[in-house]
Structures are given as structure tokens and as C-alpha cells.
Amino acid sequence: MHSWIDGQEATAVNLQNRGLAYGDGLFETIAVRGGRPSLLTRHLDRLALGCQRLAIEVDLTLVRNELLQFASQLGEGVAKLMLTRGDSLRGYAPAVGAPARRILQGGPLPTYPAQNAEHGIRVFPCRTRLAEQPLLAGLKHLNRLEQVLARAEWQDAAFAEGLMRDSQGRVIEGVYSNLFLVREGTLLTADLSRCGVAGVMRAALLEQAVALGIPAQVRDLALSELEQADEVFVCNSVYGVWPVLEFTSLNWPAGPLTRKLQAVARTLLDT
Amino acid sequence: MHSWIDGQEATAVNLQNRGLAYGDGLFETIAVRGGRPSLLTRHLDRLALGCQRLAIEVDLTLVRNELLQFASQLGEGVAKLMLTRGDSLRGYAPAVGAPARRILQGGPLPTYPAQNAEHGIRVFPCRTRLAEQPLLAGLKHLNRLEQVLARAEWQDAAFAEGLMRDSQGRVIEGVYSNLFLVREGTLLTADLSRCGVAGVMRAALLEQAVALGIPAQVRDLALSELEQADEVFVCNSVYGVWPVLEFTSLNWPAGPLTRKLQAVARTLLDT
């Protein structure tokens, strides 16, 4: 796997890196097509927001330029971009003036079964609940033990995703994705101000929905709303949209709004 | 700083390390005196519990032996031991059969102002709240962004520690330590089943309190109980016990039970 640290080829990171010590950093997983990062501005905007909220100082123009150069060398695949707060010795207080580390790792596009996009997926009901931490909610930070625990709950490859809820039982997201419901023509997705990762594809689809005149609501979602949904789908910035066919005893068709937004996502990823 | 990975001298860790990618691992910060790790069994027991709860497979006898050898070379100082789940490519699912990484880093004993132990400390009131996640509570895992955010709240060196509360406002712990109150001769410390790090010194002091006939309670602590406390102190496995003199508008003396347990902690660290 091709990788850079601070613009230089490197395969290992110093043991003093605060990403390793504390998960003190952020990441983005970015599809690369034809040598270009998909949804570039959205990924960089989320990263900028994360840096602001975690007070990580970094030259985002440099990050952008490195990413563009890295993607151009990668051609087709996925670029993982990590930003970690500057290296430091033991202790939670950061070293003054230590520069943030810019880490890029490239890999092939994942080979998902074609049926995930074409027909839809089954979703596993994770018991691991997301803790409510407004200070970190929405960010794609490096503290991801909840996702690790949730993903470890199932081995059956029949499940392409797992559904995560918060401590109150509200429906939040997939382990790897955001979740949307469709009910009577309205798009619904969870409010992520207490927990969850605000995916760039989620943001892009919400914006496109407005442009297409599709009513959309971001709000708390009770589990019972899944029963009332006409369609359910998951999305992320690598595969776009997958219809959800089955979750516990519930079933949905891969419906028309899902298909419409799947096409939108495909266009967003390809351009 | 002297460091080993998997028993070999190394200063850098592979970019595929899951400690870096997800904070998928555990750590222990261990005082080393005269070439021996203090509170060794307690540190290893907590690590074993963490491995069990996170399903990280590791040969703990090997970890112990490496730590003993490392400490013997270090002589006097602090050994930081990290265990991370095996390296893997992108994705929360661990690579099957990838061995956990054993990371050891050595450094000098921190040079705290002598007055911290002799007179006591001022504690900063952190606004960062600890999220409630029972699956991770008590563990010293590598997802420590809450502590990073809390520690960033104050720069004034007059504060040697910060007090962290949970989302309900209950008193939990210090950023670097556990907290005890003394009220009418009874020792009180927070229940850590929803959040917080169950420190090895906290466990040792609770056990010693029983042996010394000091009544002790582990339970939820309201902020108002600080007002009613006769003594307050913090503890960890590097410095032992520091009396708390001041928190917001509250003041306490470095009282007799604090001094007694400070002496106990000193003995525990020295033997």
C-alpha cells in the first residue's frame, strides 16, 4: 500500500504520534477515480471543521495539494487521509508548536458484491450503542472503538452493514455508513449532534434532495420509524448508495427514491 | 526515549497499526523503581481485563516478561505499555490471525513540583463531560480524545489537575487521576461502570482501606458532595496521592486520612 507522511513516502509513524497514543486526530476515506479525489471539497470541509473543533492546526491548502498529488499517482482506488495532532511525549497536553502529521494511505477500491448496489443489503442489529458526546459528534475522528466493537458483533457475510443506535435507542447510522429512511416521499436521516459521523455523502444527498424538490428532515429517529418506512438505504463516500432490504424482521423494497438517489450518488462520485 | 515493539528496539509503528487507525488498543503507564515495575500485578490484571472486554488476543506472560526486562534496563522512570490489536488494512473488521502489537516506551519519572505532594493542588473545573459508554468504562483504552479536550481547557500551571464529570454532572475523575472524597471518616470514590478509567492506584487504595478498617464506598457522586467533603485527594500510579486544596470556590485541608493514604501509596509504589 502506497503511503506518505507529510508529503514523503513512509510506511511507519513515530511512536510519539498522538494518533497512536490517544486517537488524537481525524481521518477521511476518499474514493479516487481517474486520479481525482471524489467529493474533494466536502471531505476537506469536514476535515476543516474537525480541525477547528479539536483545535488541530494544519495548513489545509497543503493537505489539499498533497491529496491531489497523491490521488493523481493512485489513479483508481481509495485514499485514506489522517491528520494527527503533533507528536508529543507522554501526557495529554500537546507539545507546543509540534506540527500536525499528514498521513496518506492508498489502496484499491473495495470489491463489494455487485448485488449490494443492484439488489440491496441485509443489516445486522448491533447491540453496541453509541455514547452521546456532543463535543465529538459528527466528526470522523480517530477514536473508533465503538465501531470496532460493533463490527465484531457479526461474522456472517450475509450482513453488509450493521445498524447502530444511541444509548436511548434512537437509530443513528451504520458502522460504515449513514442511514436514510423514506416515508411518504420524505427523506429522513438522524440528527448527529450527540453522536455519529456526519458523512460527506449524507451531506451531499441532503443538498441534492433540496435541489430535486425532495422533502428531507434531519431529526431524531425512533426504532419504530423503521417499521413505518417505505424505503431504507445506507450511503457512504466510497460506494454511494445501497438499498436496505432487511433488518431483523423488517423488509423494504429497493424503492424509487432510493434508486433516484443512488444515481445521484453515482454521479457525485464519478465527477 | 527507549522503546520496543514486540520485544525489538523500534521507534516507529507501521501505518496499518490499529492503534493509530482507530485507537484500537489499551495502555498502562507504569512507574519503574530500581528496575522493577510498581504495582505490576494490578497493571497486568487491568490489561487482561481490557483484552478480554475488547477481545484482543495476546500472550500476557510474554507481555509480563518483556515488561520486566524493559523495566530492568530502564532502572528509574516510567514505562508506557501499549497493546494494539493486530495490524490491518482499511476497515473496522480486524484481520484474522494478525498478532496484537506490544509496544513499550520508557522515559524519566516526571518532575512534578514537590509542593503537589507536600501541600496539595488546585483542580481546574473542566467543561468537557465524559460520555457514558458502559462497554468501555473503566478501561485504559486508546480512545482518549475526551481527556485531550479536557486538558486543553487550561494553560495555567497553577492547576495540576482537572476535574471531569459525566453528562449528568456526576463527579467522575481527574484527567490524569482518580478522585477520592473523605466525609466523616468514610472514603468515597466514583462508580466507574458508565465512564472513567479505573486506576490501579484507586483499586490498591480501596483494598488497603479495607485492610486498615477505613470505611469506603464506590458510588455515584454528586457535585454537591464536594462541598460536604472534609478532605479531597487525587491518585494515580505514578505520583501516588496528592491532596486537593482548592476547586472553584471550595477549599479543603490536606487532612489526616489523605496523609495516611499518601503514605500507603508511597509504600505501594516503592515495593
Q: How far apart are CA B205 and CA B199, in angstroms?
A: 10
The set of cell numbers assigned to B21 is 487507525
Which segments of chain B have a pLDDT < 70?
1
Query: Are B232 and B247 in contact, with CB atoms under 8 Å apart?
Result: yes
Q: Quick one: cell of A144?
A: 473508533
The per-residue pLDDT for range B142-159, each reduced to its tens digit, is: 999 999 999 999 999 999
Dihedral sign from CA coordinates of A25, A31, A34, A40: negative
Residue A25 is predicted with a pLDDT of: 98
Pick the residue from chain A with its C-alpha nearest to B93: A151
Of chain A, the end-to-end C-alpha distance in Å amounts to: 25
Give the model's confidence band at A91: pLDDT under 50 very low, under 70 low, under 90 confident, else very high. confident
The DSSP letter of residue A219 is E
Residues of B within 8 A of A8 (CB-CB) are none
CA within 13 Å, CB half, B256: 5
Q: Are B157 and B151 in contact (CB under 8 A)?
A: no
pLDDT of A97 reads 78
Q: B19 to chain A: which residues are within 8 Å by CB? A: 20
The confidence score (pLDDT) of residue B1 equals 61
Q: From the CA of A209, how many Å to the nearest CA of chain B?
A: 29
User: Binning pLDDT at 50, 70 and 90, where does residue A86 land?
Assistant: confident
pLDDT band at A94 (very low <50, low <70, confident <90, very high): confident
Return the percentage of chain A with pLDDT > 70, whole number: 100
Question: What pLDDT score does B91 carry?
Answer: 87
DSSP A41-67: HHHHHHHHHHHHHHT----HHHHHHHH
Tens of pLDDT, residue by residue over A134-143, are: 999 999 999 9
Beta strands in chain A, from DSSP E residues, in sequence order = 3-5, 8-9, 12-14, 25-33, 36-37, 77-84, 101-107, 121-130, 159-166, 171-174, 178-183, 186-190, 216-219, 231-236, 240-247, 250-251
Mean pLDDT of the A87-114 span: 90
pLDDT, residue B88, reads: 85
Q: Which residues contact B12 (CB under 8 A, 6 or more apart)?
A: A12, A13, A14, A15
Q: What is the mean pLDDT of chain A?
A: 96
Domains and CATH numbers, chain A: 3-107 (3.30.470.10), 114-270 (3.20.10.10)
pLDDT digits (tens, 9 = 90+) for A241-255: 999 999 999 999 999
CA distances from B95 to A113, A141, A153, A175, B98 (A): 19, 21, 15, 17, 6
Which chain A residue has the Cα nearest residue B105? A15
Q: Of B4, B56, B105, B145, which to mutate for an interface test with A (greatest number of A Cβ within 10 Å)?
A: B145
pLDDT in tens, B204-243: 999 999 999 999 999 999 999 999 999 999 999 999 999 9
Query: Can you list the alpha helix ranges (DSSP code H) found in chain B?
Result: 18-22, 40-54, 60-74, 114-118, 145-151, 200-211, 224-228, 256-270
Contact A92 B54 (CB under 8 A): no
Write out chain B residues lying below 8 Å of A82, CB-based. Answer: 20-21
Contact A105 B12 (CB under 8 A): no
pTM score: 0.97
Sheet holding A25-33, edge to edge: A8-9, A3-5, A101-107, A77-84, A25-33, A36-37
Catalytic residue among B28, B84, B128, B173: B173
Shortest distance between the Cα of B245 and any Cα of chain A, in A, equals 23
Residue B133 to residue A131, Cβ atoms within 8 A: yes
Interval A139-156 mean pLDDT: 97
In angstroms, what separates the C-alpha of B54 from chain A's closest C-alpha? 7
Closest chain A C-alpha to B18 CA, distance in angstroms:
8
**Degrees to nearest 5, angle at CA B140 with B258 and A94:** 90
**pLDDT at residue B163, as a whole number:** 98
Average pLDDT on A172-196 reads 98
Residue A1: predicted pLDDT: 61
ipTM above 0.95, yes or no: yes
- At residue A96, the pLDDT reads 79
Residue type, A21: A
Which residues are within 8 A (CB) of A163 and not within 5 positions of it... i.e. 6 or more apart?
A123, A124, A125, A126, A171, A173, A174, A179, A247
**Residues of A with catalytic roles:** 29, 140, 173
Residue A1 to residue B192: CA distance in whole angstroms? 41
